[in-house]
Structure 1
Amino acid sequence: MAVTMHAKSDSEVTSIDASSPPRSPRRPLYYVQSPSQHDVEKMSYGSSPFGSPHHYHCSPIHHSRESSTSRFSASLKNPRHPAPWKRIQPRHEADDDDDDDDGDDQGSGNHVRFYVVCFVFSFVVLFTIFSLILWAASTPYKPEIFVKNMVFHSFNLQAGMDGTGVPTDMLTLNSTIKIFYRNPATFFGVHVTSTPLELHYYQLKVASGYMKKFYQSRKRERIIVAAVLGNQIPLYGGVPVLSGARDHLESVSVPLNLTFVMRSRAYVLGRLVKPKFYRRILCEVTLKGNRLGKPLNLTHSCIYK
């Protein structure tokens, strides 16, 4: 029984060897993938005790290694076609280094610009706040102004002709005005100017004068004296109370209005912070022929706006 089985095995081995193709190192066995599941089952459950799966897999692996070795040696012999990774890798690393350097330089430049912009913006904001604080602190220190008195020194009315030859009464007037001015500010002085001081009989201007500009230091005061003059002013009958009063001027009484604007300007922080104080003054004064040379008190006769 044992001899029979051995003979059968020999015949099966012979049939397997005869059916299997002859091995050749040049066949593309190393390009073929692993055997399918059907072949593995055939190898595992075959009737030949000599056809082991280990023997079956050894040959393809051996040829695969030989083929890979031959291809590597061929690539070394033919340097015209180097591996793609050998050409790309160094350039890629160099580009990465350049990009990193450019990124660092650009980042540092952006940081510098950001700091400069922040510094400029902060300086402008702080300087603006400081200027507003100074301006707000200076506004309560308005100059103190009031007109003390006015003196009419001379008053004359005579017949004459204007520039076109029209005969009319001509008025000549000489007067002075005293103004009290005080700067109450504790940390800045002021520059003071004024518009022309004008005397009007309703809409008719009969005299005018100018006040010299001056500088008033902090917490100081002064008395300003300005001359208001009228020389050969044609009346054209515009002052009825003076018509025919050339012979008795001491008895005339002419109501007049004195108007002017005083402008005070302080330079707290150069020309950046310069508060301005305007005071418009309107005074009612009466010209009396019998009070020439005497001061007329205007303390309670003026309106300050």
Structure 2
Amino acid sequence: MSKVFKRVVGLACAGVMGWLLSACSPVRMLNGLTPTRSFEKTSDIAYGSDPRQTLDVYRSKDPAPGAPVVVFFYGGSWNSGSRADYLFVGEALASRGITTVIADYRLYPQVRYPEFLVDGAQAVGWTYRHVAEYGGNPQRLYVMGHSAGAYNAAMLALDPQWLQAVGMSPDNLRGWIGLAGPYDFLPIKDEAVRPVFFYPDSPPESQPINHVSRGAPPALLMAAETDTLVNPTRNTGGLASALREAGVPVDEFYFSRTSHVTLVAALSRPLRWLAPVLDHVSGFVNH
């Protein structure tokens, strides 16, 4: 089979899966195909007083001592999403021995920027203080996110004020992982996102790329080559270049068979053939 034919077949399959994942209840389909016997899950842990300030913890049923820890933030344009939709992410990371925290956070219109970053920092603070109770090592702590969640992870890793508010600093992070994140998106084109960031008066300090510094934690950045929602060249490529110029270690990968949505879906068992997203995350966290 020629390389060209393989690529055409791969793109066709990715297109079909993208259509399926844009149909009714896509995450229900993925979660329904996710095995549940490989991990232990502790649900509905409050890290704040608001009903949205709640998280779940996933861990391997056979954890190694002092397991690495990832706090994962989902996307949804800061106006939608639920941690219950990301069981497949918890299972994927737990299957590689990573204790995983998946946190809800307040969304628009309940809040605007920067309140969801306040929530993210509080979730990380809870994790740092309590994850040892679940077999995780707080000295091996990472933040990770997809799309808007990758933005949240980036801001927590790059702008010290958010973690400082919970008695921490980016120095407490061993690194951070961004999947298809918007890191440099002013002026805002997406009408659904504009009110979240006070368009047209969106503050420049809301952009992760404006907080790059030499002391930032190492980064793993991944994107789909043909992402039509978040420009991968400007956002992933631009941030990776800025980090390197500041002397920050960064790994950068682009995949041809994924879209903006299927990039995170590639963590699920049925779709891991799309891209080695889980392998890269596991290698970064377990090195």
TM-score by length of 2: 0.20
> Relative contact order (alpha carbons < 8 A, sep ≥ 6): 1 or 2 greater?
2
TM-score by length of 1: 0.19
Larger radius of gyration: 1
